[in-house]
Structure 1
Protein backbone atom coordinates (compact mmCIF):
# COMPACT_ATOMS: atom_id res chain seq x y z
CA UNK A 1 0.00 0.00 0.00
CA UNK A 2 1.36 3.37 -0.95
CA UNK A 3 1.89 6.16 1.55
CA UNK A 4 -0.97 8.19 -0.01
CA UNK A 5 -3.36 5.22 0.21
CA UNK A 6 -2.47 4.66 3.86
CA UNK A 7 -3.04 8.35 4.69
CA UNK A 8 -6.41 8.33 2.87
CA UNK A 9 -7.42 5.18 4.74
CA UNK A 10 -6.43 6.71 8.12
CA UNK A 11 -8.20 9.96 7.25
CA UNK A 12 -11.36 8.02 6.31
CA UNK A 13 -11.21 6.03 9.57
CA UNK A 14 -10.78 9.27 11.55
CA UNK A 15 -13.79 10.85 9.81
CA UNK A 16 -15.90 7.73 10.44
CA UNK A 17 -14.91 7.69 14.10
CA UNK A 18 -15.82 11.39 14.49
CA UNK A 19 -19.17 10.79 12.77
CA UNK A 20 -19.93 7.80 15.01
CA UNK A 21 -19.00 9.74 18.15
CA UNK A 22 -21.12 12.71 17.09
CA UNK A 23 -24.12 10.43 16.59
CA UNK A 24 -23.58 8.82 19.99
CA UNK A 25 -23.28 12.21 21.72
CA UNK A 26 -26.60 13.29 20.21
CA UNK A 27 -28.32 10.35 21.94
CA UNK A 28 -26.83 11.07 25.35
CA UNK A 29 -28.96 12.86 27.91
CA UNK A 30 -27.54 16.11 29.19
CA UNK A 31 -25.41 15.60 32.26
CA UNK A 32 -27.41 16.32 35.38
CA UNK A 33 -25.94 18.72 37.85
CA UNK A 34 -24.84 16.97 41.02
CA UNK A 35 -25.31 19.50 43.82
CA UNK A 36 -24.41 16.99 46.52
CA UNK A 37 -21.33 18.18 48.33
CA UNK A 38 -20.05 16.77 51.58
CA UNK A 39 -17.71 19.53 52.70
CA UNK A 40 -18.34 22.79 54.46
CA UNK A 41 -16.95 25.98 52.98
CA UNK A 42 -16.21 29.36 54.47
CA UNK A 43 -17.06 32.78 53.18
CA UNK A 44 -15.55 35.94 54.64
CA UNK A 45 -16.78 39.50 54.67
CA UNK A 46 -20.25 40.94 54.71
CA UNK A 47 -20.32 41.30 50.92
CA UNK A 48 -19.29 37.66 50.40
CA UNK A 49 -21.82 36.33 52.92
CA UNK A 50 -24.59 38.47 51.44
CA UNK A 51 -23.74 37.33 47.93
CA UNK A 52 -23.96 33.66 48.93
CA UNK A 53 -27.23 34.23 50.89
CA UNK A 54 -28.88 35.96 47.94
CA UNK A 55 -27.70 33.24 45.56
CA UNK A 56 -29.30 30.57 47.77
CA UNK A 57 -32.54 32.58 48.09
CA UNK A 58 -32.64 33.07 44.31
CA UNK A 59 -32.15 29.33 43.73
CA UNK A 60 -34.84 28.31 46.23
CA UNK A 61 -37.79 26.51 44.72
CA UNK A 62 -39.89 25.48 47.75
CA UNK A 63 -38.78 26.87 51.10
CA UNK A 64 -36.56 29.51 52.71
CA UNK A 65 -35.90 29.48 56.46
CA UNK A 66 -34.03 32.65 57.33
CA UNK A 67 -32.94 33.94 60.71
CA UNK A 68 -30.98 37.15 60.96
CA UNK A 69 -30.54 40.24 63.07
CA UNK A 70 -32.02 43.61 62.17
CA UNK A 71 -28.71 45.22 61.24
CA UNK A 72 -27.91 42.58 58.59
CA UNK A 73 -31.31 42.62 56.86
CA UNK A 74 -31.20 45.07 53.93
CA UNK A 75 -33.66 46.17 51.29
CA UNK A 76 -31.74 43.93 48.88
CA UNK A 77 -32.48 40.91 51.11
CA UNK A 78 -36.16 41.86 51.23
CA UNK A 79 -36.30 42.28 47.44
CA UNK A 80 -34.86 38.78 46.92
CA UNK A 81 -37.21 37.29 49.53
CA UNK A 82 -40.18 39.03 47.85
CA UNK A 83 -39.09 37.60 44.47
CA UNK A 84 -38.92 34.14 46.07
CA UNK A 85 -42.43 34.63 47.45
CA UNK A 86 -43.64 35.55 43.95
CA UNK A 87 -42.19 32.25 42.68
CA UNK A 88 -44.31 30.42 45.27
CA UNK A 89 -41.52 29.76 47.77
CA UNK A 90 -42.61 29.44 51.43
CA UNK A 91 -40.74 31.99 53.55
CA UNK A 92 -40.06 31.47 57.29
CA UNK A 93 -38.33 34.30 59.18
CA UNK A 94 -37.04 34.68 62.73
CA UNK A 95 -34.63 36.59 64.94
CA UNK A 96 -35.90 40.06 64.06
CA UNK A 97 -37.35 42.85 66.17
CA UNK A 98 -41.11 43.44 66.17
CA UNK A 99 -40.76 46.65 64.12
CA UNK A 100 -38.75 44.85 61.41
CA UNK A 101 -41.22 41.95 61.48
CA UNK A 102 -44.07 44.42 60.82
CA UNK A 103 -42.16 45.90 57.88
CA UNK A 104 -41.53 42.43 56.45
CA UNK A 105 -45.22 41.47 56.77
CA UNK A 106 -46.10 44.52 54.66
CA UNK A 107 -43.60 43.65 51.92
CA UNK A 108 -43.89 39.86 52.08
CA UNK A 109 -47.41 39.11 53.34
CA UNK A 110 -47.17 35.33 53.17
CA UNK A 111 -43.94 35.21 55.23
CA UNK A 112 -44.39 33.15 58.37
CA UNK A 113 -42.65 34.65 61.37
CA UNK A 114 -41.56 32.38 64.19
CA UNK A 115 -39.77 32.66 67.50
CA UNK A 116 -36.49 30.89 68.03
CA UNK A 117 -35.70 28.68 70.98
CA UNK A 118 -32.81 30.95 71.90
CA UNK A 119 -31.99 34.66 71.73
CA UNK A 120 -30.59 34.75 68.22
CA UNK A 121 -29.15 38.26 68.38
CA UNK A 122 -26.98 37.56 71.44
CA UNK A 123 -23.24 36.97 71.24
CA UNK A 124 -22.56 38.05 67.66
CA UNK A 125 -25.06 35.92 65.80
CA UNK A 126 -25.40 36.86 62.17
CA UNK A 127 -27.63 34.94 59.81
CA UNK A 128 -28.84 31.41 59.34
CA UNK A 129 -30.37 30.32 56.06
CA UNK A 130 -31.73 26.96 54.93
CA UNK A 131 -33.22 26.62 51.46
CA UNK A 132 -35.16 23.66 50.09
CA UNK A 133 -33.69 21.42 52.81
CA UNK A 134 -30.53 21.18 50.71
CA UNK A 135 -28.43 24.30 51.38
CA UNK A 136 -27.43 25.92 54.63
CA UNK A 137 -25.43 28.98 55.59
CA UNK A 138 -24.60 30.22 59.08
CA UNK A 139 -22.77 33.47 59.75
CA UNK A 140 -21.51 35.37 62.77
CA UNK A 141 -20.56 38.95 63.26
CA UNK A 142 -16.88 38.38 63.83
CA UNK A 143 -15.76 41.89 64.64
CA UNK A 144 -16.52 45.57 64.36
CA UNK A 145 -13.95 48.17 63.49
CA UNK A 146 -13.91 51.76 64.77
CA UNK A 147 -16.04 52.89 61.82
CA UNK A 148 -18.77 50.53 63.07
CA UNK A 149 -18.37 48.41 59.95
CA UNK A 150 -19.58 44.82 60.34
CA UNK A 151 -17.17 41.99 59.64
CA UNK A 152 -19.19 38.87 58.98
CA UNK A 153 -17.87 35.32 58.59
CA UNK A 154 -19.90 32.36 57.44
CA UNK A 155 -19.86 28.66 56.68
CA UNK A 156 -22.09 26.97 54.14
CA UNK A 157 -22.83 23.55 52.77
CA UNK A 158 -25.01 22.05 50.11
CA UNK A 159 -26.58 18.66 49.51
CA UNK A 160 -29.33 16.84 51.35
CA UNK A 161 -26.74 14.56 53.00
CA UNK A 162 -24.30 17.35 53.92
CA UNK A 163 -23.72 17.30 57.71
CA UNK A 164 -24.33 21.03 58.20
CA UNK A 165 -27.55 20.88 56.21
CA UNK A 166 -28.77 17.72 57.95
CA UNK A 167 -28.26 19.09 61.48
CA UNK A 168 -29.79 22.50 60.81
CA UNK A 169 -32.65 21.01 58.84
CA UNK A 170 -33.43 18.64 61.73
CA UNK A 171 -33.48 21.48 64.26
CA UNK A 172 -35.68 23.73 62.19
CA UNK A 173 -37.95 21.05 60.80
CA UNK A 174 -38.70 20.09 64.39
CA UNK A 175 -39.23 23.73 65.42
CA UNK A 176 -41.47 24.57 62.46
CA UNK A 177 -43.43 21.33 62.88
CA UNK A 178 -43.95 22.21 66.56
CA UNK A 179 -45.21 25.67 65.63
CA UNK A 180 -47.52 24.22 62.99
CA UNK A 181 -48.98 21.74 65.52
CA UNK A 182 -49.49 24.54 68.10
CA UNK A 183 -51.33 26.75 65.59
CA UNK A 184 -53.64 23.86 64.59
CA UNK A 185 -54.86 23.42 68.17
Structure 2
Protein backbone atom coordinates (compact mmCIF):
# COMPACT_ATOMS: atom_id res chain seq x y z
CA UNK A 1 0.00 0.00 0.00
CA UNK A 2 1.37 3.40 -0.92
CA UNK A 3 1.53 5.92 1.91
CA UNK A 4 -0.49 8.43 -0.11
CA UNK A 5 -3.39 5.97 -0.21
CA UNK A 6 -3.78 5.74 3.57
CA UNK A 7 -6.87 7.93 3.77
CA UNK A 8 -8.57 6.20 0.85
CA UNK A 9 -7.91 2.75 2.30
CA UNK A 10 -9.10 3.91 5.73
CA UNK A 11 -12.31 5.11 4.08
CA UNK A 12 -12.75 1.78 2.32
CA UNK A 13 -12.36 0.05 5.66
CA UNK A 14 -15.15 2.20 7.12
CA UNK A 15 -17.29 1.21 4.13
CA UNK A 16 -16.88 -2.44 5.05
CA UNK A 17 -14.03 -3.53 2.77
CA UNK A 18 -11.46 -5.90 4.22
CA UNK A 19 -7.80 -5.09 3.66
CA UNK A 20 -7.40 -7.66 0.88
CA UNK A 21 -10.67 -6.62 -0.77
CA UNK A 22 -9.56 -2.99 -0.83
CA UNK A 23 -6.13 -3.87 -2.23
CA UNK A 24 -7.59 -6.16 -4.89
CA UNK A 25 -10.27 -3.69 -5.96
CA UNK A 26 -7.75 -0.86 -6.36
CA UNK A 27 -5.38 -3.17 -8.28
CA UNK A 28 -8.17 -4.22 -10.64
CA UNK A 29 -9.03 -0.60 -11.39
CA UNK A 30 -5.35 0.03 -12.15
CA UNK A 31 -5.08 -3.04 -14.37
CA UNK A 32 -8.51 -2.96 -16.00
CA UNK A 33 -8.77 -6.72 -16.69
CA UNK A 34 -6.44 -9.17 -15.01
CA UNK A 35 -5.85 -12.73 -13.87
CA UNK A 36 -5.37 -13.74 -10.25
CA UNK A 37 -1.61 -13.93 -10.82
CA UNK A 38 -1.48 -10.39 -12.20
CA UNK A 39 -3.62 -9.03 -9.37
CA UNK A 40 -1.47 -10.86 -6.82
CA UNK A 41 1.66 -9.23 -8.20
CA UNK A 42 0.12 -5.75 -8.38
CA UNK A 43 -1.55 -5.83 -4.96
CA UNK A 44 1.03 -7.92 -3.09
CA UNK A 45 -1.74 -10.30 -2.01
CA UNK A 46 -1.41 -14.07 -2.28
CA UNK A 47 -3.38 -15.76 -5.06
CA UNK A 48 -5.68 -17.69 -2.69
CA UNK A 49 -6.48 -14.37 -0.98
CA UNK A 50 -7.11 -12.76 -4.38
CA UNK A 51 -9.70 -15.44 -5.21
CA UNK A 52 -11.38 -14.97 -1.84
CA UNK A 53 -11.44 -11.17 -2.19
CA UNK A 54 -12.77 -11.35 -5.76
CA UNK A 55 -15.57 -13.68 -4.67
CA UNK A 56 -16.62 -11.15 -2.02
CA UNK A 57 -16.38 -8.24 -4.46
CA UNK A 58 -18.34 -10.19 -7.09
CA UNK A 59 -21.11 -10.81 -4.56
CA UNK A 60 -21.32 -7.05 -4.04
CA UNK A 61 -21.61 -6.48 -7.77
CA UNK A 62 -18.27 -4.66 -7.93
CA UNK A 63 -16.33 -7.16 -10.05
CA UNK A 64 -17.20 -9.23 -13.12
CA UNK A 65 -15.62 -12.65 -13.63
CA UNK A 66 -14.86 -14.20 -17.02
CA UNK A 67 -14.80 -17.97 -16.63
CA UNK A 68 -11.98 -18.64 -19.06
CA UNK A 69 -8.72 -20.47 -18.43
CA UNK A 70 -7.22 -18.76 -16.59
CA UNK A 71 -10.13 -16.78 -15.15
CA UNK A 72 -10.03 -13.04 -15.67
CA UNK A 73 -11.50 -10.36 -13.46
CA UNK A 74 -12.76 -6.93 -14.41
CA UNK A 75 -14.12 -4.19 -12.10
CA UNK A 76 -17.33 -2.36 -12.89
CA UNK A 77 -16.87 1.33 -13.66
CA UNK A 78 -16.01 3.83 -10.94
CA UNK A 79 -19.40 5.50 -11.45
CA UNK A 80 -21.26 2.20 -11.04
CA UNK A 81 -19.18 1.37 -7.96
CA UNK A 82 -20.15 4.68 -6.38
CA UNK A 83 -23.83 4.13 -7.18
CA UNK A 84 -23.81 0.59 -5.79
CA UNK A 85 -22.14 1.70 -2.54
CA UNK A 86 -24.49 4.66 -2.18
CA UNK A 87 -27.60 2.52 -2.62
CA UNK A 88 -26.29 -0.08 -0.20
CA UNK A 89 -25.57 2.37 2.57
CA UNK A 90 -28.75 4.33 1.98
CA UNK A 91 -30.66 1.10 2.57
CA UNK A 92 -28.60 0.36 5.69
CA UNK A 93 -29.16 3.86 7.04
CA UNK A 94 -32.88 3.57 6.34
CA UNK A 95 -33.04 0.26 8.23
CA UNK A 96 -31.22 1.77 11.21
CA UNK A 97 -33.37 4.91 11.36
CA UNK A 98 -36.57 2.89 10.96
CA UNK A 99 -35.54 0.67 13.85
CA UNK A 100 -34.61 3.64 16.02
CA UNK A 101 -37.93 5.36 15.23
CA UNK A 102 -39.73 2.18 16.19
CA UNK A 103 -37.83 2.08 19.49
CA UNK A 104 -38.45 5.78 20.15
CA UNK A 105 -42.18 5.36 19.52
CA UNK A 106 -42.36 3.02 22.51
CA UNK A 107 -40.65 5.48 24.83
CA UNK A 108 -42.81 7.01 27.50
CA UNK A 109 -42.77 10.80 27.56
CA UNK A 110 -41.46 12.72 30.58
CA UNK A 111 -44.02 13.33 33.31
CA UNK A 112 -42.59 16.74 34.20
CA UNK A 113 -40.43 19.47 32.71
CA UNK A 114 -36.81 18.44 32.40
CA UNK A 115 -33.86 20.76 32.92
CA UNK A 116 -31.59 19.01 30.44
CA UNK A 117 -28.43 20.54 29.02
CA UNK A 118 -26.95 18.44 26.26
CA UNK A 119 -23.34 18.29 25.14
CA UNK A 120 -22.19 17.69 21.56
CA UNK A 121 -18.48 17.23 20.84
CA UNK A 122 -16.68 17.51 17.51
CA UNK A 123 -17.17 19.96 14.67
CA UNK A 124 -19.11 17.61 12.41
CA UNK A 125 -21.49 16.59 15.20
CA UNK A 126 -22.05 20.23 16.21
CA UNK A 127 -22.74 21.16 12.59
CA UNK A 128 -25.27 18.35 12.25
CA UNK A 129 -27.04 19.40 15.47
CA UNK A 130 -27.21 23.03 14.34
CA UNK A 131 -28.54 22.06 10.91
CA UNK A 132 -31.28 19.91 12.43
CA UNK A 133 -32.31 22.54 14.96
CA UNK A 134 -32.54 25.17 12.22
CA UNK A 135 -34.70 22.90 10.07
CA UNK A 136 -37.01 22.25 13.04
CA UNK A 137 -37.54 25.99 13.66
CA UNK A 138 -41.12 27.22 13.49
CA UNK A 139 -40.86 31.01 13.78
CA UNK A 140 -37.41 32.44 14.39
CA UNK A 141 -33.72 31.63 13.96
CA UNK A 142 -30.76 33.68 15.20
CA UNK A 143 -27.39 32.26 14.20
CA UNK A 144 -24.03 33.67 15.25
CA UNK A 145 -20.79 32.34 13.79
CA UNK A 146 -17.18 33.37 14.33
CA UNK A 147 -15.68 32.63 10.92
CA UNK A 148 -16.36 31.10 7.52
CA UNK A 149 -14.73 27.77 8.38
CA UNK A 150 -17.58 27.24 10.87
CA UNK A 151 -20.26 28.12 8.31
CA UNK A 152 -20.87 25.03 6.19
CA UNK A 153 -22.93 25.11 3.03
CA UNK A 154 -25.47 22.82 4.69
CA UNK A 155 -26.06 25.29 7.53
CA UNK A 156 -26.27 28.19 5.06
CA UNK A 157 -28.84 26.33 2.97
CA UNK A 158 -30.92 25.45 6.04
CA UNK A 159 -30.99 29.13 7.11
CA UNK A 160 -31.96 30.20 3.58
CA UNK A 161 -34.75 27.60 3.51
CA UNK A 162 -36.19 28.86 6.80
CA UNK A 163 -36.10 32.43 5.52
CA UNK A 164 -37.81 31.39 2.28
CA UNK A 165 -40.50 29.72 4.40
CA UNK A 166 -41.32 33.11 5.94
CA UNK A 167 -39.45 32.81 9.21
CA UNK A 168 -37.47 35.56 10.91
CA UNK A 169 -33.82 34.64 10.25
CA UNK A 170 -30.89 36.70 11.55
CA UNK A 171 -27.18 35.99 11.07
CA UNK A 172 -24.57 37.64 13.29
CA UNK A 173 -20.85 37.67 12.57
CA UNK A 174 -17.88 39.98 12.94
CA UNK A 175 -16.35 38.24 9.91
CA UNK A 176 -17.13 40.17 6.73
CA UNK A 177 -16.62 36.98 4.67
CA UNK A 178 -19.45 35.32 6.57
CA UNK A 179 -21.79 38.24 5.97
CA UNK A 180 -20.86 38.22 2.29
CA UNK A 181 -22.03 34.61 1.94
CA UNK A 182 -25.57 35.80 2.71
CA UNK A 183 -25.47 38.79 0.38
CA UNK A 184 -27.58 36.96 -2.22
CA UNK A 185 -29.93 35.27 0.27
CA UNK A 186 -33.27 37.03 0.43
CA UNK A 187 -35.05 37.76 3.72
CA UNK A 188 -32.03 37.03 5.95
CA UNK A 189 -31.00 39.89 8.24
CA UNK A 190 -27.21 40.08 8.59
CA UNK A 191 -25.15 42.39 10.75
CA UNK A 192 -21.88 42.63 12.67
CA UNK A 193 -22.37 42.66 16.44
CA UNK A 194 -20.20 44.67 18.79
CA UNK A 195 -18.18 42.31 20.97
CA UNK A 196 -16.42 43.55 24.08
CA UNK A 197 -16.08 40.37 26.10
CA UNK A 198 -12.69 38.72 25.63
CA UNK A 199 -14.26 35.36 26.46
CA UNK A 200 -16.17 35.68 23.20
CA UNK A 201 -12.89 34.86 21.46
CA UNK A 202 -13.54 31.24 22.44
CA UNK A 203 -17.09 31.25 21.11
CA UNK A 204 -17.50 29.31 17.88
CA UNK A 205 -21.20 29.36 17.09
CA UNK A 206 -24.43 30.32 18.83
CA UNK A 207 -28.02 29.56 17.92
CA UNK A 208 -31.40 30.71 19.13
CA UNK A 209 -34.47 28.87 17.85
CA UNK A 210 -38.01 30.20 18.42
CA UNK A 211 -38.43 31.02 22.10
CA UNK A 212 -37.25 27.84 23.75
CA UNK A 213 -34.06 26.45 22.20
CA UNK A 214 -30.47 27.65 22.49
CA UNK A 215 -27.04 26.33 21.50
CA UNK A 216 -23.61 27.73 22.29
CA UNK A 217 -20.32 26.25 21.12
CA UNK A 218 -16.82 26.94 22.36
CA UNK A 219 -13.50 26.33 20.65
CA UNK A 220 -10.66 24.59 22.42
CA UNK A 221 -7.03 23.85 21.66
CA UNK A 222 -6.04 22.67 18.20
CA UNK A 223 -6.91 19.02 17.62
CA UNK A 224 -4.97 18.98 14.36
CA UNK A 225 -2.93 21.77 12.75
CA UNK A 226 -5.41 24.46 11.72
CA UNK A 227 -8.39 22.64 13.23
CA UNK A 228 -9.78 23.59 16.64
CA UNK A 229 -11.83 21.36 18.87
CA UNK A 230 -15.45 22.42 19.20
CA UNK A 231 -17.89 21.56 21.97
CA UNK A 232 -21.51 22.72 22.00
CA UNK A 233 -24.02 22.94 24.83
CA UNK A 234 -27.70 23.12 23.96
CA UNK A 235 -31.05 22.95 25.65
CA UNK A 236 -34.68 23.02 24.51
CA UNK A 237 -37.96 23.53 26.34
CA UNK A 238 -36.31 23.96 29.73
CA UNK A 239 -36.13 26.74 32.27
CA UNK A 240 -32.42 27.01 31.53
CA UNK A 241 -33.13 27.52 27.83
CA UNK A 242 -35.78 30.15 28.58
CA UNK A 243 -33.31 32.08 30.74
CA UNK A 244 -30.64 32.03 28.02
CA UNK A 245 -33.19 33.03 25.38
CA UNK A 246 -34.14 36.06 27.46
CA UNK A 247 -30.48 37.01 27.91
CA UNK A 248 -29.80 36.68 24.19
CA UNK A 249 -32.86 38.74 23.33
CA UNK A 250 -31.69 41.60 25.56
CA UNK A 251 -28.27 41.46 23.90
CA UNK A 252 -29.82 41.50 20.43
CA UNK A 253 -32.06 44.43 21.29
CA UNK A 254 -29.06 46.36 22.56
CA UNK A 255 -27.19 45.62 19.33
CA UNK A 256 -29.99 46.62 16.99
CA UNK A 257 -31.25 49.77 18.73
Q: Do these two structures clear the TM 0.5 threshold for a shared fold by scoring above it?
A: yes
Q: Distance in 2 between matches of 1:116 and 1:169?
A: 19
The match for 2:120 is: 43
The match for 2:244 is: 168
Question: Structure 1 residues 93, 130: closer, same or farther in 2, change over 3 A?
Answer: same
Question: Structure 1 residues 55, 45: closer, same or farther in 2, change over 3 A?
Answer: same
The match for 1:86 is: 164
The match for 1:29 is: none
Q: Distance in 1 between matches of 2:223 and 2:125?
A: 18
Q: Distance in 1 between matches of 2:113 and 2:166?
A: 24
Q: State the Cα deviation string for residues 93-148 of structure 1 (Å, max 9, x = none).
A: 21231232122132244324251443689532111101001111111112213432
RMSD value over aligned CA atoms? 2.5
Question: Structure 1 residues 119, 36: closer, same or farther in 2, change over 3 A?
Answer: same
Q: Distance in 1 between matches of 2:212 and 2:130?
A: 13
Q: Distance in 2 between matches of 1:44 and 1:156?
A: 11
Q: Distance in 2 between matches of 1:150 and 1:101?
A: 22
| Residues 46, 151 of structure 1: 8 Å contact kept | yes
Q: Secondary structure at the match of 2:235?
A: strand
Question: Structure 1 residues 86, 120: closer, same or farther in 2, change over 3 A?
Answer: farther
| Residues 42, 156 of structure 1: 8 Å contact kept | yes
Q: Distance in 1 between matches of 2:246 and 2:198?
A: 18
The match for 2:219 is: 141
The match for 2:185 is: 107
| Residues 95, 116 of structure 1: 8 Å contact kept | no
Unpaired stretches in structure 2, ≥5 consecutive residues: 1-108
Q: State the Cα deviation string for residues 73-111 of structure 1 (Å, max 9, x = none).
A: 121111110111111111112123123212213224432
| Residues 164, 186 of structure 2: 8 Å contact kept | no
Correspondence 1:65 to 2:142: yes
Runs of 4+ in 1 over 4 A off after TM superposition: 33-36, 119-122
The match for 2:69 is: none
Shift, 1:154, TM fit: 1.0
Q: Secondary structure at the match of 1:106?
A: coil
TM-score (norm 1): 0.69
Question: Structure 1 residues 64, 172: closer, same or farther in 2, change over 3 A?
Answer: same
Q: State the Cα deviation string for residues 45-78 of structure 1 (Å, max 9, x = none).
A: 1111111111110000111111111121121111
Number of corresponding residues: 147
Q: Secondary structure at the match of 1:175?
A: helix
Higher RCO (CA-CA < 8 Å; seq separation 6+): 1
